[in-house]
Structure 1
């Protein structure tokens, strides 16, 4: 039976932080996509490999395969993806349909560590069942929660699996369910196994690998680098703090934690005046010992007038990544009488996590009044203090 692998590499990978899409970032001495491709191109059970890319990434893709000299005949010309992962996979399947394989594996470009054994198990599972996905046991207790974060139930974790790629299918089956979903105008499936389930197909789970991680956040790249270096790299933990304050002025809203908050007043500021993001930016820069927000974004420069403060925090986080570091935790406290933080806290945490490429549990946000003392107590202004914990490679002196 002929086997093709479809590598999905059309995403933007925004949670990995600023910079190149994550599939084209360097890991060790080569782009992530190159490392992923090499594993499938070199596997004896794979006959063809097709990569689906973003239309804007042609040069990045060509650079990624430049290390293959010559380019293997088993690597087919790439095709362009769509607006969603589901659309990208379908485009790849349609490109394969003119000379259809018996089996197709669908794999995320940002998973550069599947073993040859895992790839072999995927092929065998597709032959045996027709639709199968790799999964690993869940070690944490899982809670199903309701709309107010209340626990609804606790599933039995012995029956739970965390699903990975490569996912494996008989080609006609997967092409058919993708066409049916497109005809039904369903476009948001992020997992081909779930799409097959929607279509009424029985999907089996075969043994995955804990090491087959997906690179999503900056910390994942740092961990992958350590893995390639045999965990020989030593890190030192650093703590930075930040503080920011702005006076109230004319306006009908304030920006806090990247969220626009309706308020009876605005703030006087050169940028959007987001005291939480400003304090967090200074905390990260402090941990790096790399100046402060004014050093990197001077208020005398007109290009930063009215600028969105998420750019400042994203820049500081990118500096950590460039130093080979890991951002572990962000913690901020808002100091004011009004507005109240409570109704917006979780939205702010989520936005900060998105900007910094962190999990939600790595972002803490609190608020306090100053018991009507000082300028915040008199509602003349608003302030925030923050702390950031990072790890940097230890440099011998």
Structure 2
């Protein structure tokens, strides 16, 4: 894709003839490897949406158009999917550095010739309207403006020695600020600054590029919500600290079948009929785990129509669910299983059942509870026609 090519361009909403025309460049061309996501972090899901979609929606909601999104080479399809349905977008392939990507994004705006431009990092998904307003207001007096926050921690230079870093001369935190994006500029001024920046140098941000042209940069109040997503923990923190799930299952009692409950074979006159070993307690527990992470139910993962699961031991179903829980970034807080039947008596087996479930789940036995109750001879369990089980689990974010 050429620097000024548009992979998706729709009618752009008007900004009003009397107001300065403001466009935006959203830099989404990095690889985001430190975030530990299966794809570049700007396209990974965060709080229910791709990261890049959050800030692009905020910009378009503020009436800013066009919005140029600078993307990695070969990412046209994933970018189009992440931002599907948002009007007034242009996609541009980025360069080898962030600075080059910004310049290519600015070049793509030359035809639109906006008065102002906001340059924003896609990795900062939460973009408050108040910050946009403060930046645009500052551009009435200055050629550039950046959002900043005070430094609250003590700072020190790291002195290098053969035995490791040592504390050097302390820095005055009163003189320092934490710089965020979007950074706002008069369009023609910042484009010229990028075009004339020495090619062998790499600027820390666009404000440094602007200063090279003698532009005076205003500082406005930023927002802690503009936090940059950088590490895997930033994505994990977007998930609920605790999740819960419930499961329920029923199987018919039948002569000639083995009775499996909680991963144990129980001697009894009847067994449970089903496609697998029909371990009703484990099946309820699997559904509770899958439900807690929003991963469907046991039938989706192990369909009864699949012959490979005929007579299969249910402990592998539970092990699979536990693996999915860990991959989702959670650990089992506790599991509570209730078996509903008239017979056999569950009490003599309860301890062994807890041990077996804890083994499969790879947790301490204290995290597993097994209980039993009857229905006082009422219903299908009361008549000895089948056994039911219900389970509840809590998961804690790792």
Q: Structure 2-normalised TM-score? A: 0.55
2 CA distance for matches of 1:129 and 1:191?
18
- Match of 2:222? 208
> Are the equivalent residues in 2 in contact too, given 1:8–1:107 (CA < 8 A)?
yes
* Aligned partner (choices 73, 84, 109) of residue 55 of structure 1: 73
Matched, 1:138 2:151: yes
Matched, 1:217 2:235: no
Q: CA 1:225–1:151 in 2, change beyond 3 Å: closer, same or farther? A: same
Shift in Å at residue 176 of structure 1?
0.9
1:320-350 Cα deviation digits (max 9, x unpaired)? 9832359xxxxxxxxxxxxxxxxxxxxxxxx
Q: 1:98 is paired with a residue of what secondary structure?
A: coil
Matched, 1:64 2:89: no
- Match of 2:327? 322
Q: 2:239 is paired with a residue of what secondary structure?
A: helix
Matched, 1:189 2:207: no
- Match of 2:123? 110
1:28-83 Cα deviation digits (max 9, x unpaired)? 22211112211111113x232111111121111011122x2xx41x32x2111000
Shift in Å at residue 172 of structure 1?
1.1
Which structure's CA Rg is the greater one? 2
Shift in Å at residue 160 of structure 1?
1.2
2 CA distance for matches of 1:15 and 1:319?
22
Q: Runs of 4 or more off by more than 6 Å in structure 1?
A: 318-321
> Are the equivalent residues in 2 in contact too, given 1:86–1:187 (CA < 8 A)?
no
> Are the equivalent residues in 1 in contact too, given 2:139–2:184 (CA < 8 A)?
yes
Q: 1:5 is paired with a residue of what secondary structure?
A: strand
Q: CA 1:124–1:220 in 2, change beyond 3 Å: closer, same or farther? A: same
Shift in Å at residue 2 of structure 1?
0.6
Shift in Å at residue 234 of structure 1?
6.7
Q: CA 1:320–1:36 in 2, change beyond 3 Å: closer, same or farther? A: farther
> Are the equivalent residues in 2 in contact too, given 1:108–1:166 (CA < 8 A)?
yes
Shift in Å at residue 319 of structure 1?
8.8
2 CA distance for matches of 1:28 and 1:6?
23
The alignment yields a C-alpha RMSD, in angstroms, of 2.5
2 CA distance for matches of 1:56 and 1:208?
34
1:295-324 Cα deviation digits (max 9, x unpaired)? xxxxxxxxxxxxxxxxxxxxxxx9998323
Matched, 1:233 2:242: yes
2 CA distance for matches of 1:18 and 1:224?
14
Q: 1:134 is paired with a residue of what secondary structure?
A: strand
Q: CA 1:8–1:116 in 2, change beyond 3 Å: closer, same or farther? A: same
* Aligned partner (choices 80, 85, 88) of residue 98 of structure 2: 85
Q: CA 1:320–1:157 in 2, change beyond 3 Å: closer, same or farther? A: farther
- Match of 1:20? 39
How many pairs does the alignment contain? 235
Stretches of structure 2 lacking an aligned partner (at least 5 in a row): 1-19, 245-322, 332-393
2 CA distance for matches of 1:321 and 1:43?
39
- Match of 2:62? 43
Q: CA 1:321–1:217 in 2, change beyond 3 Å: closer, same or farther? A: farther
Q: Structure 1-normalised TM-score? A: 0.55
> Are the equivalent residues in 2 in contact too, given 1:84–1:187 (CA < 8 A)?
no
Q: CA 1:325–1:154 in 2, change beyond 3 Å: closer, same or farther? A: farther
Q: Which has the higher contact order (CA 8 A, sep 6+)?
A: 1
Shift in Å at residue 150 of structure 1?
3.2
Shift in Å at residue 132 of structure 1?
1.3
